[in-house]
Structure 1
Amino acid sequence: MSKYLDVQEVANMLGVTPATIYKLINHPEVSKRIEPVNRLTYRGDGGYRFSADSVELVKDQVIKKDLTIADTAKLLNRSKSFVHGLIQEGKLKSYEDIYRGKKTFFIKKEDLEQYNKDVKEKPKGLWETIYDKKTGVFLFQPYFNNGELARVMSINKNGSARAKIMLKTSSIELTLEEALELGWKPTYLIEEKKQVTAYGYARFVFPIPRSLDSVIYQVIDELFKAAGPYNIRVKTDEMLEVEIKKTTLAGITETTEPDLVNRLKTFVHSGEIVLVHNGTVIDPGYSSILMYLPHQTKKELLSEAESKGMKLHDYLTEFFNNKFGLK
């Protein structure tokens, strides 16, 4: 039977391991098998033997035509679980085929290009989901593992029972579940503080941080600690915008934390940073204005805001920006 190929020769031709060839010999689907010419007598023949034609029939199963999950994850600089999630949510097209003896997801390059295009063209100006009550995780929350820093970079609820939470390290992105399994732990938790009912938000505008340990994230950490998840909102476009209800940073003064107070003053875009003896107050500035307006005027302002589909504090922000040429 010297004119036939043995297992090692077939493996070399196809660029796979002998173990893959044995999987193909015993594949549960007959149409996917590689059929040896001596299935019944292979023991006496010193192993399986194959014709060149039978090898040709299985080439498509073992030679990659498109991107695997691992290939796609590497190109996106994400985890394989993240790519699986995109496929399950219908955000990334894929198809299943046999590869090296088992069913595998494949992604065409043009479909990956379309996904990247869709991500770049996603609508701007939307407020981010910043908190998942079930896990207590919040946006930009710092995690540590063996001295390395990671941060929560997205919380996607998408109407599902379980939020999809992604953390970013210096090199890769992980789901929350992956991070916890690897030993990542949150540096601190935040309290679900009572929602502030006073009108208005103070607005901070930051450049997009270049590193996970950026002082910008450190400032936002302090805002989350002081305000809790229900009095703050975040938007990320060309800049990182944080809006916060009237909040007191207890114990943060020019004496105790001069750098932090200076950064709050530097990045505040609307609202006031008020220094008091035992802390720093972030005041939207609208509360004192509204306090002196007649009830009927406030009612008219609220009606005008509702007619534009806006909340009152957003309407006032737009009004003053337009009135005084602010940005």
Structure 2
Amino acid sequence: MVSISQLAESLGKSVRTIQHWVASGVARPINLDTYRRDGGYTFSADEAERLSKLFGGLGAKEAAEIVGVTPQYLNELALSGHIPSELRKVGKRERRFYKKEDCFVLRDQLHTDINKKTSKFGAKLTPFSNGWRIFEYIEHEGKKGLISNTRPLIITGEDGRSYKITCAGEMSPWPERKYQVQKGFVDFRFPIPRAIVHPVYDLLRALLENLGSKNIQIFETKQGDYFVRCRSGSLRFSDVTFDLLQKNVVNGILEKSRDTILLRPDAVVRYVSFTKAAFEIVKRAADDSNMGFDEALNMIIISRKISDDLT
């Protein structure tokens, strides 16, 4: 016999979920009439095996959390063959299940693909690592400095010189904010200040504080700028200067709303169908330019519009 807690553990589910299955008739315990007296539901080995075949693995929600995408996008990746999955009939519905190890493989693959696409922006900075937060002030060996990178740990001193140190910090990570799934980005380009006390660093800290590190990427370009890519969100007026943001925005829309500044991607989402020939043209342009499919499509359309205007 298998207890409800043992069954829940083997399936990677909660006891409450198993109880819901029993109430809905999906799971069939052997002591349905006496479970209160017995101290909980118990199941036969055959029933436990049946449920394992039916529910073993991760559902879309749990799998998507590991991969770091939405369940809807994970389903698209499964349909296109990027991750193995299994369709099972649960009650009157079909549900898709995934293996945990396949989720980790896909997560690493997507992370590698993202790094390839964003490498054109420059060297990506890590907001938090080994107890250090980027752009925070510290004192080291009696000297005041600014953390200009956390991996490796680089400190920029008041004299403008940078040096590497190796020691663990005691700072807390940047606040966790909900990951914004809306398409598109708001991009900024800020000249890297020479002085470590500067409004640009105040603004970068405010972006990390308000948006959370999941919704912002910071790159150091070869031209000596910070390229900052943000997802949609809002900032408090008390934390940032609207004029400084507006002056340095290169893509996206900024809006004032009472005591906040709203960041809105300049993107309109539409679902369209492509002929195979058109799809291959855009995909080839994306691969050749190290772009995402959406970026390449926008580039082709805008280039065509400019060409038409000139003629």
> Under a length normalisation based on structure 2, what TM-score does the superposition of the two structures give?
0.47
> Under a length normalisation based on structure 1, what TM-score does the superposition of the two structures give?
0.45
Indicate the structure (1 or 2) with the bigger Cα radius of gyration. 1
